[in-house]
């Protein structure tokens, strides 16, 4: 899961980092660590992020889909 892919998907969804973080039940700072690439989300969190962004975890993991 690329941090660039997560950021692009969030921007495309029109949501802020705070909105996504609230939807998936984590702190904004924790979500920011995913977007900047400091932390890679586990599978469960990846699915939650994808759902909040209106996409699939496969599309976030595999940028060529």
pLDDT in tens, the chain (65 residues): 666 789 999 999 999 999 999 999 999 999 999 999 999 999 999 999 999 999 999 888 876 54
Residues 23, 44, 17, 40: what is their CA dihedral angle, to the nearest 10 degrees? 170
Measure Cα distances from 25 to 20, 22, 31, 44 in Å: 8, 5, 10, 12
Domains of the chain as residue ranges with CATH: 3-57 (1.10.260.40)
- pTM for this structure? 0.88
């Amino acid at each position: 899961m690329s941090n660039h892919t997560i950021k692009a998907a969030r921007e495309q969804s029109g949501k802020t980092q705070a909105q996504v973080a609230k939807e998936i039940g984590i702190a904004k700072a924790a979500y920011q660590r995913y977007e900047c690439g400091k932390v890679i989300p586990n599978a469960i969190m990846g699915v939650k992020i994808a759902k909040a962004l209106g996409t699939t975890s496969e599309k976030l993991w595999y940028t060529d889909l």
